[in-house]
Structure 1
Amino acid sequence: MNFVVLNSSKNWGGNERWLTTAVNGLAERGHTINLIIRKNVSHWEKIHPSINLIEAPFTNELSIKTKSIIKELIDSKTDILLSTKRKDYILAAQIKYSNQITHIMRLGISRPILKRDFIQRYVLSHMVDGIIVNAEALKSELLKYDFIHKNIHINKIKCIYNGYVLSSSKKEQNINKVSSFCIRSAGRLTTHKGYDMLLKSLKNLREDFYLEIAGDGPEYSALNSMIKKNNLQKKCKLVGDMKNTIDFFAGADLIVIPSRSEGIPNTLFEAWSVKKPVIATNVGGVSEVVDHKKDGLICEPSVDSIYATISDYIKKQEDYNRLGESGYKKLNDSFSMDRMIDNLENYFDIFID
């Protein structure tokens, strides 16, 4: 198959991590991939050598230059136009209208579609042929909207769980580890990731601990201020971006994913890949993947619930020792990269004549 793929991201995140593994897997199976990315970004160095990387300005949803670049790549051999960000959805919709090409969207996180968001509603109603989500919960949310249910067949909204390649890296990063119990988390520092709830939950934690959060983003200053305001400087630290989250997690005793909204977080699989126990909030598709008290602990996305679950884990570490090992086994058995690529190929096949 021949794909044109759009990604307008300025920063590396879960969406870009998924896209890298997806296009690399498809390229390794002989599919042709043209990946159009934003100019002057540096997070695509791990792309398969056969993939054609093309830069575009992505200045806005109506960018004439970007649309021109996309149109130049689309010909009679192009099978699928795949969009992965909100700006990309709208650009791809315009290309679908003018070129009559199959347009597939990929959604990796739950976000409400507001009544006043007429553009997104129109795109989803008339300019999308199929939608890929990474959790059944996201599919269920989409089907609650009448304008989606009426215009996109239920079989063309497909849940495909993220695949993961187990890393051989086991080098532990012990950054400022000043406690016998190290909690770590990683992700974009945005409101939906819930790091403010995590910090508030630790304010009254009596057990000995040290928290490190890896990542960067718009909430960096606010979170740093919260650490100082609550006198947590000796207990909590923002350590900046980590090129290798696996090594970062390998040096922890516990991984916490405190999100307000998610599909299925990539950091869950990264923690499992180094056999680390995970506490994750019950949002998106987390409960589809994590079996509570068997391969992870699930709590509600609230300060009190996060606090209670972390405290319980620290007190009962011996009872929960198996969680990381069980997560590793599940990751290896059920979320392989080959399975994800098989599912993607089977899904795309239904749109090919």
Structure 2
Amino acid sequence: MKKKILIRIGSLRHGGAEKVLTTFLKNLPEDKYEIDLLLNLYSGKYLPEIPKWVNILYLNKGEMITTNRIQDIPKKAFRVIYQKLLKIFPQILYSKILKGKIYDIEFAAIHGLRDDVLNSPIKSSKKIVWIHNDLRMTDFHHYTDEEIRRFFGFDKILVISEQIQNDFTNLAKNEEERKRIVRIYNPLDTEEILLKSNAHKSPNEVLEKKIPNFISVGTVFPQKGFDRLLKVHKKLLDEGFGHQVKIIGDGYDFEKIRNLKSELGIDKTVEMEGFSDNPYPNFKAADYYILSSRYEGFPTVLFEALTLRKNIIATDVSGVREMLLDGKLGLIVENSEEGIYQGMKKALTEPESFEKYQEELKDYEMPFNLENSVNSIMKIIDEL
């Protein structure tokens, strides 16, 4: 008999957790589970990629509202109040939207849905949460020890990096709690990345090769530090170091970062492409991949850069030392504007210093593969 699984996530917008969940679902055997995917908001670039056999349900429909325009306020307020009511009275959600279905597994695909899943009226279900971020450092809320302890209400806590695993392990009160914490590498389809990187792009879609170019890919949130990247870019240009920057991604900070680009007078040397379902030809064309993040959980985008054998400059955030083998596979810099400046300046003044990373990358094999990651999560589901 198939296990009935409820997976919850905010939406399927262009974020790392959303991409990882989509990859996971695409690689599950079709006949093994009965899955309902419940979205708070039916929107996002990854919606078309969800397999047809997965049943998609939602609380609200339409695009995410990221502005406070007067005409948008009533709809925004309705969504917030409606979701709040369903959170306070989960019986309504489970009886009306989920039609009284009894699930074997309830799965919070992001940490923000912790309480929604833990407060489920289905007491018999086993509960799983997937932690994608360092909870000590988030844009909206820094979690205390006491708040992180509440995640031990789950039967399994999937974490994506050694640093996050250590944080949870230090807070576990006994062996039984420690056993709930499982480190899982994010499912990443390296074959798809290599295949897509060879897709044809018109000349204006890839970075020009006349001067050194840097690429950064990610959701345009404060977390990603694109403001720091632009300020460093401007400083280096003022010092006479010619180079280009390309940012691929979208998010609620997009207009703010685009405005900053104009304020700094760097519109001609910085391109903001927005979301792309295939950024890999641009990855391939770039000289350097730069991660300017203020914090991360385990930046999967670095594995994409490693797959394409890119020169990497990355701030010293959670997961980076683990992924770059403590600096063997790429340049790790201080998590600050000054750190990013020093890293980019080194690339522009001493490009030969990156040859050692290329030597290491020649024979580097990923510490996981897609099949192993998917099988590891399936094993957890099957054994609960």
Give the TM-score taking structure 2 as reference length.
Answer: 0.79
Q: 2:348 aligns with which of 309, 314, 326?
A: 314
Q: Of residues 296, 305, 311 in structure 1, which corresponds to 2:330? A: 296
Contact 1:183 1:211 in 2 (8 A): yes
Q: 1:335 to 1:151 in 2, by over 3 A?
A: closer
1:94 aligned onto 2:124:
no
Question: Hey, what's the Cα distance between the residues in 2 that align with 1:80 and 1:33?
Answer: 10
State whether residues 12 and 47 of structure 2, in contact with CA within 8 Å, keep that contact through their aligned partners in structure 1: no
Matched to 1:157, the amino acid is I
Identify which of 183, 191, 210 aligns with 2:222.
191
Native 8 Å contact 1:61 1:87 kept in 2: no
* Cα distance per residue 1:304-351 (max 9 Å; x no partner): 111111111233333424635744754x44231012122213333442
Task: Give secondary structure in 2 for the equivalent of 1:250.
Answer: helix
Structure-2 change in CA distance of 1:149 and 1:316 (3 Å): farther
Unaligned runs of 5+ in 1: none
Q: Is the 8 A contact 1:61 1:88 kept in 2?
A: no
Matched, 1:72 2:106: no
Write the letter of the residue equivalent to 1:3: I
Instruction: Tell me the secondary structure at the aligned position of residue 103 of structure 1.
Output: strand
- Please tell me whether the aligned partners of residues 294 and 326 of structure 1 are also in contact (alpha carbons under 8 angstroms): yes
Aligned with 2:284 (options 250, 260, 267): 250
- Aligned partner of 1:20 in structure 2 is 22
Q: 1:137 aligns with which of 163, 183, 189?
A: 163
Kept in 2: contact 1:276–1:325 (CA 8 A):
no
**Aligned-partner residue type, residue 158 of structure 2:** I
Tell me the distance in 1 between the aligned counterparts of 2:85 and 2:361. 44
Partner of 1:154: 178
Aligned residues: 343
Aligned residues of 2:106 and 2:117 also touching (Cα < 8 A): yes
1:144-293 → structure 2 map (5 Å cutoff): 144-145=170-171, 149=173, 153-166=177-190, 167=192, 168-169=195-196, 170-171=198-199, 173=201, 174-175=204-205, 177-178=207-208, 179-205=210-236, 206-293=240-327
Q: CA–CA distance in 1 between the matches of 2:143 and 2:173? A: 16
Q: Is 1:338 paired with 2:366?
A: no
Q: Which whole-Å deviations, capped at 9, do the CAs of 1:106-154 have from their partners, x for residues lacking one?
A: 1101123757898x568535x4222111001012223444xx5469711
The reply on whether 1:60 has 2:86 as its aligned counterpart is no
State the AA in 1 paired with 2:281: D
Alignment check: 8 A CA contact 1:183 1:252 kept: yes
**226-235 or 258-267: which moved more?**
226-235
Whether the aligned pair in 2 keeps the contact of 1:135 and 1:284 (CA below 8 Å) is yes
Shift of 1:160: 0.6
> Aligned partners of 1:71, 1:278: CA distance in 2, in Å?
45
Q: What displacement does 1:10 show?
A: 6.0
**Change in CA separation of 1:322 and 1:115 when aligned onto 2, cut-off 3 Å:** closer
Q: Deviations over 1:33-59 (max 9, x none)?
A: 222224531422112333222233384
The runs of 5 or more residues in structure 2 that have no matched partner are 61-78
Query: Is 1:49 equivalent to 2:52 in the alignment?
Result: yes
Does the 8 Å contact 1:160/1:340 carry over to 2? yes
Letter in 2 for 1:290: L
Alignment partners' CA distance in 1, 2:337 and 2:9: 34
Query: Partners in 2 of 1:40 and 1:2 — Cα distance?
Result: 21
SS in structure 2 of the partner of residue 334 of structure 1 = coil
Q: Is residue 61–residue 90 contact of structure 1 (8 Å, CA) maintained in 2?
A: no
Aligned-residue CA RMSD in angstroms?
2.9
- Contact 1:162 1:335 (C-alpha < 8 Å) held by counterparts: no
Distance across 1 between alignment mates of 2:362 and 2:40: 35
Change (3 A) 1:47 1:278: same
1:232–1:293 Cα change, 3 Å: same
SS of residue paired to 1:27: coil
Post-superposition Cα deviations, 1:170-216, rounded to whole Å, max 9, x if no partner, equal 23655374542111111111111111111122222132210011112
Corresponding residue SS for 2:117: helix
Q: 1:311 to 1:172 in 2, by over 3 A?
A: farther
Structure 1 contact 106–132 (Cα < 8 Å) conserved:
yes
2:72 match: none
Query: Which one of 151, 158, 167 corresponds to residue 124 of structure 1?
Result: 151
8 Å CA contact 1:67, 1:91 repeated in 2: no
TM-fit CA distance, 1:264: 1.3
